[in-house]
């Protein structure tokens, strides 16, 4: 790969993934959690594309398209659930969902 080496891309992908995972675990707002999930999947996409470029084949490109489509479906379900939560309590605060015992 000309220019940016593979390891930099992997650092970027891991950082995106890690920020997303941290967001999913720590944030309370359901919408922010959804965005964090998207961030994780995009981190994965960056990793896929970096590896594909480094290897010079296009196998992972198909994977990336599928991941994008699935991520869209996932967001649709997640937003529906967030709306259902909003109808019950007037907010989308996930801490309410944690009142169930661990």
Q: Nearest distance from residue 8's CB to another protein, in Å?
A: 14
Cα–Cα separations (whole angstroms), residue 32 to 39, 63, 76, 90, 92: 10, 25, 14, 16, 10
Q: What is the widest separation between alpha-carbon atoms in the chain? A: 53
Q: Which is nearer to another protein, 2 or 25 (CB)?
A: 25
- Structure-token match 């960056």, residue found: 46
Q: Which is nearer to another protein, 3 or 58 (CB)?
A: 58
Binding site for another protein (CB under 8 A): 10, 13, 17, 20-21, 24-25, 30, 33, 37, 40-41, 43-44, 47-48, 50-51, 54-55, 57, 59-60, 62-63, 66-67, 70, 73-74, 77-78, 80-82, 84-85, 87-89, 94, 96-102
Q: Is 28 helix (H, G, I), strand (E, B) or coil?
A: coil
Contacts of 31 (CB under 8 A, 6+ apart): 82, 92
Q: Which is nearer to another protein, 3 or 87 (CB)?
A: 87
């Amino acid at each position: 790969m000309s220019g940016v080496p593979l390891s930099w891309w992997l650092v970027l992908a891991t950082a995106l993934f890690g920020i997303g995972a941290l967001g999913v675990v720590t944030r309370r707002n359901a919408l922010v959690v959804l965005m964090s999930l998207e961030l994780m999947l995009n981190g994965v996409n960056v990793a896929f594309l970096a590896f594909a470029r480094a290897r010079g084949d296009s196998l992972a490109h198909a994977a990336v398209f599928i991941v994008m489509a699935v991520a869209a479906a996932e967001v649709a379900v997640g937003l529906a659930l967030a709306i259902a939560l909003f109808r019950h309590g007037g907010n989308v605060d996930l801490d309410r969902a944690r009142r169930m015992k661990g």
